[in-house]
Structure 1
């Protein structure tokens, strides 16, 4: 088992909940960060099996630094140490072309995702430095390597998150702190699952599926496995990297 607890920001989402389930058996505990629904967070806890007794729901509003700091304080009080912070939160967005995106839309997604991540980093780093260990794993997007039209609202802030992750890796490695990213492809979970049923026609999605080397869309477990690896001691000499988990979509 890895040292300390896992703090999952966005733990109630489709990918976040899969990540919580995967991490529950590998860490001393799991803090499930939620913004608005404690009931959803409790619902995720109820799926953790034997890990339920080592999981807590923690309010974590990315727009409120006080909420984030309170969440970390609560998790540290419960578990003693926080070994990894997973950033799996995002805005529920559509997929407009760049010419159709208004300033308010840009501000919303950048505020919640990119600025929200900077707040998470600011809150977590003092704990990691005091412990002498800790790592970040951020869920970003394959669109920064193989751009599908209409994905700018999602990919632009995540490019910033990747850049900040590399900065953390370079500057904080001397303190035993790592930072890595996972870039999902087309995933049948969370917002991706909604897109598969509401965006484009079945024929278009079938054509996209055939573009994928492994000939299938991914699922939440595929992403959770990659996150669990990078967060764990198995990846102790990996930092500043982005692991693309897309079945070969971007080849």
Structure 2
């Protein structure tokens, strides 16, 4: 149970972030639903526990927006004990020579610097918590080749490096920091990735999807609820001594 937990979940308007927010709420946590889109209000309706949810529009590329959202969370619930950094973008789909500098900068800004902004704003509250935790969403794309996805792969490896550093910076205060590395997760986002990859290669999306599935030990896409269950574990009492780890949920798509 997470009845003593107040979590701030970025990217909570849909997909993995929505499922994480719902899973935390089901375990009794207070949950701040943070994202740019209005989907956070739909997520709040799905949770249907207004006394334990706060929908707060947040842009992880804007330090003031992040700071204000976290402060509103603390004012509402009296604490912040868990930060889930799920907000991210897929970035461009092209070989490296076809990617513009601004596309690199945007992907790194959202996927890596966005986490740093949230951690900086949340740090004093997490350090004060009896059981503080940081859960970052990385990807097996930071561990294995992702052709035509250079900015995304680089950003997700960056998340792993940042997570390991945070584990040591926060360890003296008993705050854990871990990264979850999903493989291909079923949903609208991965379907869009398949479409862009197919367009780049001049094939049908189903060809790309079949290739991805065939690269996995268990030839199935991952369900977002599986990622949410691991996030709950890492934030809960059973995850108290798990820190500095990058944990794959990938159907065997990565081996380290």
TM-score by length of 1: 0.92
Match of 1:234 in 2: 238
* CA distance, structure 2, for counterparts of residue 147 and residue 230 of structure 1: 27
Uncovered stretches (5+) of structure 1, i.e. residues with no partner? none
> Residue 179 of structure 2: SS of its match in structure 1?
strand
1:78-97 correspondence to structure 2 within 5 Å = 78-97=76-95
Match of 1:56 in 2: 54
* CA distance, structure 1, for counterparts of residue 46 and residue 158 of structure 2: 33
How many residue pairs match? The answer is: 248
Distance 1:214 1:235, change over 3 A: same
Match of 2:201 in 1: none
Q: Give the CA deviation at 1:116.
A: 1.4
> Residue 107 of structure 2: SS of its match in structure 1?
helix
| 202-211 vs 69-78, greater mean Cα deviation | 202-211
| 186-195 vs 106-115, greater mean Cα deviation | 186-195
Q: Give the CA deviation at 1:88.
A: 0.6
Match of 2:218 in 1: 214
Distance 1:48 1:248, change over 3 A: same
Could you tell me whether the CA contact under 8 Å between 2:138 and 2:157 is conserved in 1? yes
**Aligned CA-pair RMSD:** 1.7
Could you tell me whether the CA contact under 8 Å between 2:126 and 2:175 is conserved in 1? yes
1:57-110 per-residue CA deviation (whole Å, 9 max, x = no partner) reads 012211221211111111111111212110111125332122211111111111
4+ runs deviating over 4 angstroms: none
* CA distance, structure 2, for counterparts of residue 27 and residue 153 of structure 1: 37
* CA distance, structure 2, for counterparts of residue 190 and residue 86 of structure 1: 21
Match of 2:5 in 1: 4
Q: Give the CA deviation at 1:165.
A: 1.1
* CA distance, structure 1, for counterparts of residue 62 and residue 210 of structure 2: 41
Match of 1:41 in 2: 40
Uncovered stretches (5+) of structure 2, i.e. residues with no partner? 199-203
| 172-181 vs 225-234, greater mean Cα deviation | 225-234
Match of 1:154 in 2: 152
* CA distance, structure 1, for counterparts of residue 5 and residue 75 of structure 2: 12
